[in-house]
Amino acid sequence: MEQYDAFYIDGGWAKPATADTFRVVSPHTEEVIASVPAGAAADMDAAVGAARKAFDSTDWPTRAPEERMEVVRRFADLYAGRMAEMADVITAEMGSPTSFSQLAQSPAPWMMLTTFLDVAASYPWEEQRSGVLGSPVTVRRAPVGVVAAIVPWNVPQFVTMSKLAPALLAGCTVVLKPAPETPLDAYLLAELLHEAGVPAGVVNIVPAGREVGAHLVAHPGVDKVAFTGSTAAGRAIASVCGQQLKRCSLELGGKSAAVILDDADLAATMEGLKFASLMNSGQACVAQTRILASRANYDAVVDALAETVAGMTVGDPADPATEIGPLVSQRQRERVAKYIALGEEEGARVATGGSGRPAGLERGWYVQPTVFAGATNTMRIAREEIFGPVLTVIPYQDLDDAVRIANDSEYGLAGSVWTAERAAGMDVARRLRTGTVGVNQYTMDFVAPFGGFKASGIGREFGREGLDAYSELQSLVPLGG
């Protein structure tokens, strides 16, 4: 069992304020694999103090962007060399299938990092405008300040990098709070940042629970909160930030719809939905969990989806053949199992799966991948984010009805359209009230903004807009020519 005994604060390893610890438990074996210190309010105070000092008293925020880019580029090069190790760590700590980890849990963060470097190279850090009073005006993007980055357990490095990369490039300093379930990847991240020569205090890392996270959010030394997690937690954070007039960006929940048109290639669509709907064992905010099929094609879609899901390999996340692994924790397993039972109580029909455990997996936090048929969009399984391998197939009458159902949600994070006609798919996509829509796939592109409508969040990440989120606009208006 690995044991860590310090936090990464002010460029070195700092002794915790208390003896409290978090146990990291394997979702596959239910055995403890590591122990890390649990951050207390005093530890967060120290981390914010270090970040505050680095922002207020060093040259990091005033360096030329190219100088910060050079530091981040060194970090990216080091990250590239340890991506496989990072993926293995995340598979061990949260049960992500290694096939997904090797594709997304570490390569995607590295791709995001290099994309932000490309964006930063052409970003208008300062631009000149002709003033109406005759003098030139300089519009400057200044760093927002000290950033509290609070990340979830499902894709910890992916979410971390969406905040850390633009914050560093913009000249901010950061306090990163990893989730208690997945602190191990953050320790590897600290090693890489230190080796890259990121100055002391610019990045500080303290794993902590909710109460200490709330202390960080409300801390007067924090200028911006960047949060990814549940909508309920996002509302609480937004309230605090609103009271303090503190900047915040919130990437929250989703209940995304995959709209299958009658002309879609059903076999190709099912293959695409294996990733779009069940990536990371369904533990993804962008998962396409509402499957919309026309009444004319409904039975065919249900049968094809049930056959596809029933045929997916469930088991040891370290096995490359595994497509669906365990859920992150016993609590999450119980939550998902309760939703499956609820779906049956609501009158939906289980086309495959159910609330029991998968055959042969009596140990580990596994649930059966489940497809519900005979569902309506008013059922809780169609309205609430389950965060597990549970899909609900909902019938629609015509295209207008499909768009209405897709948009009838408090969320608006992601969506997809499946069709033989790309142009027709794009037309439907433009009608969906959601932040990112795929046509015949679901993915995101790191040059394009990512975020949600409605209760799915506030603000955008990735691309130029991702850098905008860590900048304050400043206008410089000199007298004379």
Provide the pLDDT for residue 425. Answer: 97
The predicted pLDDT at position 151 comes to 98
Asked if residue 313 is part of any domain, the answer here is yes
Q: Judge whether 481 lies within some domain.
A: no
Catalytic residue among 93, 241, 285, 461: 285
pLDDT tens for 427-452 read 999 999 999 999 999 999 999 999 99
DSSP 3-state assignment of 454?
strand
Burial class (CB in 10 A: 0-12, 13-18, 19+), 198: buried
Query: Quick one: tokens of 21?
Result: 């610890």
Judge if 114 and 234 occupy the same domain: yes
193 domain-assigned: yes
The answer to whether residue 332 is domain-embedded is: yes
Q: What is the pLDDT of residue 1?
A: 84
Q: What is the CATH number of the domain that holds 30?
A: 3.40.605.10
Residues 173, 34 share a domain: yes
Residues 138, 37 share a domain: yes
Question: In this predicted structure, what is the pLDDT of residue 204?
Answer: 98
Number of structural domains in the chain: 2
Our measurement of the distance from residue 428's CA atom to the centroid of its chain's CA atoms, rounded to an integer in Å, reads 25
- Give the helix ranges, DSSP H, for 262-398: 266-276, 298-310, 330-345, 380-383
Considering the domain architecture, whether residues 362 and 468 belong to the same structural domain is answered as: no
Residue 435 and residue 462 in one domain: no
Which of 154, 288, 327, 342 lies closest to 230, judged by CA?
154
Please tell me whether residues 198 and 55 are part of one structural domain.
Answer: yes
pTM score over 0.85: yes
Give the pLDDT of residue 481: 54
- Say if residue 327 is in the same domain as residue 469: no
Which of the following is catalytic: 93, 241, 248, 251?
251
* 196 and 234 housed in the same domain: yes
Indicate whether 19 and 120 sit together in one domain. Answer: yes
Domain of 39, in residue numbers: 2-252+456-476
Single out the residue of 411, 358, 359, 355 nearest to residue 382, CA to CA.
Answer: 411
305 part of a folded domain: yes
Same domain, 272 and 387: yes
Task: Mark the ranges of the chain whose per-residue pLDDT is less than 50.
Answer: none
Cβ neighbour number for residue 194 with a 10 Å cutoff: 17
Are 387 and 424 found together in one domain?
Answer: yes
pLDDT at position 356, please?
87
Do 265 and 223 lie in one domain? The reply is: no
Catalytic annotation on 285? yes
**333 within some domain:** yes
CATH number, domain containing residue 373: 3.40.309.10
